[in-house]
């Protein structure tokens, strides 16, 4: 049986992935590393769309816990994703790639508005297209945005790049007994009332 070629992917990178050795913000060395990894995918003639998070700077939920209005906090979180997207765009360009940032919030003096057909055109031309500001709505996360954009751009594959290698029963970075699931269906995950904690990039599954 011949394998179907993966022509277009959507890569979800959390804000935490940009932290590197830094406690907050963006580590320039990590940016170079990530950009080189992304270049190796583009060199396979694969179109790459990226949804980037903002948790290395702000998360609405955390801000709300310290008293900031939740919607304002989420807007701050979405703006944080735009900052990350600009940093990644710059790093990709330094690798010789052509990159575009699109935003679900209008900040069109620094990047393009998200327009689906235009995004697909960028991808067809081989431009790495970074989708920022999540879905543009509060109370969502960039994981939701990644799923949404993956469907919208008709990606063949959605990849969530994480700090751990797969889906676990508990946080494997904190618990050595965490079980690794080789594969798990949506139904199993859902019906076992799983709570997925995107920031730590593992998934809790109640067994
Ligand atoms: N956010 C939002 N709507 C979205 C996507 C993100 O309000 O559609 C806000 C939310 O406050 C979130 C923050 O932006 O916490 C940063 O996104 P996320 O937590 O998903 O970043 P990551 O964990 O991937 O770094």
What are the residue ranges spanned by the domains of the chain? 8-163, 164-207
Residue range 148-166, pLDDT digits in tens = 999 999 999 999 987 778 8
- Higher-pLDDT residue of 21, 205: 21
Gap from CA of 138 to ligand 1 centroid (Å)? 8
Residue 27 is predicted with a pLDDT of 95
Residue 197 is predicted with a pLDDT of 46
Average pLDDT over residues 187-202: 53
Task: Give the class (CATH, top level) of 8-163.
Answer: alpha beta
Gap from CA of 104 to ligand 1 centroid (Å)? 12
Average pLDDT over residues 79-106: 98
Residue 190 is predicted with a pLDDT of 67
Quick check: 34 and 98 in contact, CB under 8 A? no
Cα–Cα distance, 136 to 155 (Å, whole number): 20
Residue 154 is predicted with a pLDDT of 97
Residue 85 is predicted with a pLDDT of 98
Q: In the structure encoding, which two tokens stand for residue 38, read together? A: 């992304």
Q: Is the pLDDT of residue 13 over 50?
A: yes
pTM of the model: 0.89
Residue 198 near ligand 1, beta carbon < 6 Å:
yes
Residue 83 near ligand 1, beta carbon < 6 Å:
no
- To the nearest whole percent, how much of the chain has pLDDT over 70? 89
> Which pLDDT band, with edges at 50, 70 and 90, does 111 fall under?
very high
CA-143 nearest atom, ligand 1? 20
Q: Is the pLDDT of residue 200 over 50?
A: no
Cα–Cα distance, 134 to 144 (Å, whole number): 8
Residue 70 is predicted with a pLDDT of 97
Residue 192 is predicted with a pLDDT of 59
Q: Which of 87, 105, 141 to mutate to test the pocket of ligand 1 (most atoms within 8 A of CB)?
A: 141
For 80, residues 6+ apart whose C-beta sits below 8 A from its C-beta are: 15, 54, 55, 56, 57, 58
Average pLDDT over residues 195-206: 44
Residue 1 is predicted with a pLDDT of 61
For helices 142-152 and 116-124, the axis angle rounded to 10 degrees is 70
CA-139 nearest atom, ligand 1? 7
């Amino acid at each position: 049986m011949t394998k179907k070629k993966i022509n277009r992917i959507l890569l979800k990178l959390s804000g935490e992935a940009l932290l590197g050795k830094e406690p907050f913000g963006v580590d320039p060395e990590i940016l170079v590393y990530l950009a080189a990894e992304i270049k190796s995918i583009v060199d396979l003639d694969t179109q790459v769309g990226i949804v980037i998070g903002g948790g290395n700077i702000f998360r609405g939920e955390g801000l709300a816990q310290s008293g900031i209005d939740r919607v304002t906090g989420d807007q701050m979180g979405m703006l944080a994703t735009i900052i990350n997207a600009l940093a990644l765009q710059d790093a990709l360009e330094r690798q010789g790639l052509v990159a575009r940032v699109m935003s679900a919030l209008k900040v069109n003096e620094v990047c393009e508005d998200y327009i689906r057909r235009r995004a697909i055109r960028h991808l067809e031309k081989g431009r790495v297209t970074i989708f920022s500001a999540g879905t543009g709505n509060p109370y969502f996360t960039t994981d939701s945005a990644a799923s949404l954009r993956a469907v919208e751009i008709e990606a063949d594959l959605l990849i969530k790049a994480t700090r751990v290698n797969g889906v676990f029963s508990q946080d494997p970075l904190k618990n050595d007994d965490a079980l690794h699931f080789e594969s798990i269906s949506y139904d199993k995950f859902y019906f076992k009332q799983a709570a997925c904690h995107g920031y730590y990039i593992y998934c809790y599954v109640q067994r």
